[in-house]
Amino acid sequence: EHDAVQKKTFTKWINAQFSKTGKSPIKDMFSDLKDGRKLLDLLEGLTGNVLVKRGFTRVHALNNVNKVLQVLHQNNVDLVNIGGTDIVDGNHKLTLGLIWSIILHWQVKDIMKDIMSNLQQTNSEKILLSWVRQCTTSYPEVNVLNFTTSWADGLAVNGILHHFRPDVFNWQQVVKLSPVERLDHAFTVAKDQLAIERLLDPEDVAVQLPDKKSIIMYVTSLFAVLPKEVSMEAIREVETLPRRYKVESEDTGSEAGSSPRPETPSNLTETEREMEGSLLEVDLDSYQTTLEEVLTWLLSAEDALQIQDDVSDDVEEVKEQFHTHEAFMMELTAHQSSVGNVLQVGNQLIARSNLTEEEEAEIQEQMTLLNARWECLRVASMDRQASLHEVLMDLQQKQLQQLSDWLTQTEERIINIETEPAAKDLELYKEQIENHKELQNDLEAEQVKVNSLTHMVVVVDENSGESATAALEEQLQSLGERWAAVCRWTEERWHKLQDVFVVWQQLLSDQVELWAYSSTISFKSYVPPSK
């Protein structure tokens, strides 16, 4: 559901950017961005630089997307495990990830960089939440704790707008509306008063758990056009907010790396209790139904993990296995909250003390088994991910070493060639031509391995992230420079050989003409001696 919302919201954001530069809009984000041309159009508008676009073949599409990734790297946009083929092949998850990285850089961080610098803060989300809470502090009905559930009732976004435009609408009338009506009202006011596009649809926000990225994107649009003063008091207040499971599980960087730990907060406001009513007010039948759904998924996930092939020893196959398992891990993360919700509801049912001893014992046993199976699945998944990463990095390092060794040998060949004397006869020249053709063939064969290295998979962890990445980038840059130098020298020498070939042709042609002319003169000037 969140993917569908993000696709719709991100498409609207892209088209809003295109409307500023007169570019034609896109209809289906996954298919329209595959050839890279529209992505380059988008970056042209964001960077202000003209970017060359290639044709419409797959090779052209890969060139275009690789150019996109290069531009993003030059602008310090963080991308993890996103390659050109992922976008060209229409990978939904990674395409959404790419667009979110672009939005996060130009829509969020770029807009907030000045205030972040002034406040000496590096967390843009904390700044944005502080600003929202500061704007809505005078509205007792609004208590924004996150960028998910706190926006479902539509009061928060209306509170921001009313804070800065109190004469535009009556707050008490908005409070009486339904969540969908409130959201529609807010989006309309923002469009009419602030020229902010309706990037969100009310029905996508008025749900139990709205999409965090879409909310952040829209709130940043408000932040961009409204006064941006944020006090240190507001920041400190955000830093001391209670952290609850349902909030933490939706953090941008959450991974399937820890077991759900449910807790029942006792300090919920009335608004929060209303929003979580469907979770808190449950009976035994609803619990059993939800438990059955989660267990059904858990069984299928266990089967899916079980049937995955053994880790290959071929680098390209391991890459494919890594991406497949990465998608599995993302699915695991998506269902983590469902497991936590079941455990939370089970605890709530037991806490009510209106169950029989048999029912309570059954729920306790079910929760113990569910948590144990989840933990086994999570640990097994993490182990496979670690194994794939270890094998993949080992194979990729071997690739790098093989390329380095090949370059060393080739550079030695080049030195030997450069020390050879210039060809003084046709046979020696032909030999040089054949030797160079052999070098070109070797270069083309090695190009396949070089192309594989352009799609390296790098997993960054907290312990070795920056240092490992920096070392790898330095290694790749060095190899890239050496590769480019060999290619450049080979091309330049081929042109020189061609120039020499023209000279040889001309010399041979002149010799033939001179020989024919000399023969004619000699024949005509020969007079037999007379008797």
Residue 437 inside a domain? The answer is: yes
Residue 317 has pLDDT above 90, yes or no: no
Single out the residue in 71, 97, 118 at which a domain terminates: 118
Q: Quote the crossing angle between the two packed helices 357-418 and 465-524, to the nearest 10°.
A: 30
How high is the pLDDT of residue 501? 67
How high is the pLDDT of residue 459? 60
Backbone angles phi, psi at 221, to 5 degrees: -60, -40
Residue 415 has pLDDT above 70, yes or no: yes
Query: Is the torsion defined by CA of 147, 151, 237, 232 positive or negative?
Result: positive
* Count of structural domains, the chain: 3
Q: Which residue range forms the structural domain that includes residue 433?
A: 420-523
Do 454 and 373 belong to one domain?
no
Single out the residue in 92, 118, 144 at which a domain terminates: 118
Mean pLDDT over 303-324 rounds to 86
Query: 54: domain CATH number?
Result: 1.10.418.10
Do 353 and 457 belong to one domain?
no
Do 469 and 357 belong to one domain?
no
482 or 163: which leads in pLDDT: 163
How high is the pLDDT of residue 527? 45
Do 432 and 519 belong to one domain?
yes
Residue 191 inside a domain? The answer is: no
pLDDT band of residue 11 (cuts 50, 70, 90) is very high
Residue 312 has pLDDT above 90, yes or no: no
Do 449 and 349 belong to one domain?
no
- Are the CB atoms for 450 and 404 separated by under 8 Å? no
Mean pLDDT over 45-69 rounds to 83
- Are the CB atoms for 221 and 196 separated by under 8 Å? yes
How high is the pLDDT of residue 523? 39
Contacts of 51 (CB under 8 A, 6+ apart): 40, 43, 44, 67, 71
Residue 460 inside a domain? The answer is: yes
- Are the CB atoms for 62 and 84 separated by under 8 Å? yes
How high is the pLDDT of residue 174? 94
Residue 169 inside a domain? The answer is: no
pLDDT band of residue 127 (cuts 50, 70, 90) is confident
How high is the pLDDT of residue 249? 36
Residue 140 inside a domain? The answer is: no
Do 450 and 381 belong to one domain?
no
Distances in Å between the alpha carbon of 236 and those of 135, 268, 342, 483? 15, 20, 33, 52
Single out the residue in 340, 373, 389 at which a domain terminates: 389
Percent of the chain whose pLDDT exceeds 90 = 17
Can you list the alpha helix ranges (DSSP code H) found in 284-425?
A: 284-306, 315-352, 357-418
The highest-confidence range among 283-297, 389-403, 425-439, by mean pLDDT, is 389-403
Percent of the chain whose pLDDT exceeds 70 = 80
Mean pLDDT over 405-410 rounds to 85
Residue 188 inside a domain? The answer is: no
Do 2 and 94 belong to one domain?
yes
Residue 104 inside a domain? The answer is: yes
Do 384 and 429 belong to one domain?
no
Mean pLDDT over 218-232 rounds to 88
How high is the pLDDT of residue 352? 72
Query: 359: domain CATH number?
Result: 1.20.58.60
Residue 150 has pLDDT above 70, yes or no: yes
